[in-house]
Amino acid sequence: MKNGKFQVGIIGCGGIAGAHANTYKRMDDVEIVALADIIPGKAAQFAKNFGFEGARLYNSHSELLENETELDAVSICTYNRQHAIPTIEALNRGINVIVEKPMSVTLDEAVEMVRAEKKSGKILSIGFQPRFDESMKFMKKVVRSGELGEVYYIQTGGGRRRGIPGSTFIEDKTAGVGALGDIGCYSLDMCLDAIGYPKPLTVTAFKSDYIGKNPKQYREADRFSVDDFSAAFIRLEGGIVIDFRIAWAMNVDTPGDTIILGKEGGLRIPSTDCWNGGFGDMTLYKTIAGCNVQTVLPTPKGGDCWYGKLRSFLEAVKNGGKAPVPTSQILYNQAILDGIVRSAQLGKEVEINIPEI
Ligand SMILES: NC(=O)c1ccc[n+]([C@@H]2O[C@H](COP(=O)([O-])OP(=O)(O)OC[C@H]3O[C@@H](n4cnc5c(N)ncnc54)[C@H](O)[C@@H]3O)[C@@H](O)[C@H]2O)c1
């Protein structure tokens, strides 16, 4: 810190960098000192838009990391295919990192990121802001309360009838994964975090691009080269299974609510388009004195997710604490995404093998 202020850089000055910028601007002890984007002029325009005129500007993550020797932290806001490389480079230079979700595209990349994190002794947190949403926090509390008993089955995912985002999200060379990496990682994180992130063992999966690649259905079909829908059956340690499906586009309104079945009770969480924040009231199912009952749980709404995500990261940086959204968990999330892609490509079940790190 310099003059009591965190020295922060932002790598990638696109859409989501704006959310990082607006959140940091609410913190008196943060100074945005450096910005990088590989598109000429984009960092300068970003500096102007967000009032970071004093920030030093760079044409790539490497140029920024080479020149900035006093950074406390960087926000890595590049597209998915450029998550691993800048993260590893920043950690190697002793800089704490918060990288956007999904952690990476492949499991191999995620493993290398964790290796760099361990070697550096610095913090690497993954940008899952829904963790700080009040509905999400309450859902976790309900599952952890023990009312459901031992959880053995989860149905999750969701998505939308039509809602392919466009931009850098739809091309393999930038995004690497489509709906799966964009919104699939959220619903998996919600459920896995609630049950303590058991290790994934196997997955059998399917993915498709029928709507994204159809020019009659999607305006940028010629550019579309990722998944618009996927479904998977995932086995976890402890005999738990996840029945998962996620869609940017499908010919139905929703593939269903999230359902968590335990030996003593069940929980229904109303489906959403995205799972990146709040949801409607949950329903708890129990059997009491032989009577099947269901209770609508008044589910809290709201929460300052973005502030929670970035502030908790900076507090960990300041106090030498643990990453608020740790790689020890998100590595499993990424291993599932990777397993889904591999299984869908091979057309059969695959094992999930996570190397020792
Ligand atoms: N947490 C959330 O709610 C949320 C929401 C949207 C997107 N995201 C994630 O944020 C990431 C970025 O999404 P976006 O919509 O901002 O994309 P975007 O394409 O608008 O922005 C990415 C920017 O990174 C730049 N870039 C790429 N590689 C670079 C490099 N090596 N060095 C410097 N700049 C580089 C690109 O030129 C581009 O300007 C994605 O991984 C996405 O999944 C998260």
For residue 128, is pLDDT > 90?
A: yes
Q: Which atom of ligand 1 is nearest to the CA of 18?
A: 16
Atom 36 of ligand 1 has which residue's CA nearest to it? 12
Contact 81, 26 (CB under 8 A): no
Task: Report the DSSP beta bridge partners of residue 159.
Answer: 247
Region 8-15: mean pLDDT is 98
* Per-residue pLDDT tens digits for 139-173: 999 999 999 999 999 999 989 999 999 999 999 99
Report the pocket of ligand 1 as residue ranges, CB < 6 Å: 11-17, 36-39, 42, 60-61, 77-80, 82, 86, 100-101, 127, 129, 167-168, 182, 276
Domain-located, residue 330: no
For residue 21, is pLDDT > 90?
A: yes
Contact 61, 85 (CB under 8 A): yes
Domain-located, residue 1: no
Give me ligand 1 centre to Cα 127, in Å: 12
Contact 303, 134 (CB under 8 A): yes
Q: Which two tokens stand for residue 243?
A: 């029945």
Look at residue 277 in the predicted model and tell me its pLDDT.
80
Q: Which atom of ligand 1 is nearest to the CA of 309?
A: 1
For residue 276, is pLDDT > 90?
A: no
In this structure, the answer to whether residues 124 and 166 fall within a common structural domain is no
In this structure, the answer to whether residues 225 and 112 fall within a common structural domain is no
In this structure, the answer to whether residues 198 and 345 fall within a common structural domain is yes
In this structure, the answer to whether residues 319 and 268 fall within a common structural domain is no
In this structure, the answer to whether residues 253 and 290 fall within a common structural domain is yes
For residue 274, is pLDDT > 90?
A: no
Give me ligand 1 centre to Cα 160, in Å: 22
What is the side-by-side order of every strand in the sheet holding 96-100? 56-58, 30-36, 6-11, 73-76, 96-100, 124-127
Contact 175, 169 (CB under 8 A): yes
* Per-residue pLDDT tens digits for 299-326: 999 999 999 999 999 999 999 999 999 9
pTM here is 0.98
Domain-located, residue 357: no
Give me ligand 1 centre to Cα 37, in Å: 10
pLDDT bracket for residue 202 (50, 70, 90): very high
Give me ligand 1 centre to Cα 347, in Å: 31
Q: Which atom of ligand 1 is nearest to the CA of 61?
A: 32
Q: Which two tokens stand for residue 234?
A: 């995932």
Look at residue 181 in the predicted model and tell me its pLDDT.
97
Domain-located, residue 214: yes
Give me ligand 1 centre to Cα 103, in Å: 12
In this structure, the answer to whether residues 178 and 189 fall within a common structural domain is yes
Give me ligand 1 centre to Cα 81, in Å: 9
Percent over 70 (pLDDT), the chain: 100
Atom 5 of ligand 1 has which residue's CA nearest to it? 16
In this structure, the answer to whether residues 170 and 65 fall within a common structural domain is no
In this structure, the answer to whether residues 139 and 269 fall within a common structural domain is yes
What is the number of domains present in the chain? 2
In this structure, the answer to whether residues 321 and 278 fall within a common structural domain is no
Domain-located, residue 51: yes
Q: Which atom of ligand 1 is nearest to the CA of 86?
A: 31
- CATH, residue 258: 3.30.360.10
Pairing mode of beta strands 151-159, 200-208: unpaired
Look at residue 337 in the predicted model and tell me its pLDDT.
98
Domain-located, residue 18: yes
- CATH, residue 16: 3.40.50.720
Domain-located, residue 356: no
Look at residue 97 in the predicted model and tell me its pLDDT.
99
In this structure, the answer to whether residues 110 and 175 fall within a common structural domain is no
* Per-residue pLDDT tens digits for 208-236: 999 999 999 999 999 999 999 999 999 99
Q: Which atom of ligand 1 is nearest to the CA of 16?
A: 16
The domain in which residue 85 lies consists of: 6-129+305-325
Atom 19 of ligand 1 has which residue's CA nearest to it? 168
Pairing mode of beta strands 258-262, 151-159: antiparallel
* Per-residue pLDDT tens digits for 84-113: 999 999 999 999 999 999 999 999 999 999
Q: Which of 42, 77, 136, 190 to mutate to test the pocket of ligand 1 (most atoms within 8 A of CB)?
A: 77
Domain-located, residue 47: yes
In this structure, the answer to whether residues 32 and 111 fall within a common structural domain is yes
In this structure, the answer to whether residues 145 and 273 fall within a common structural domain is yes
Q: Which of 20, 38, 62, 78 to mutate to test the pocket of ligand 1 (most atoms within 8 A of CB)?
A: 78
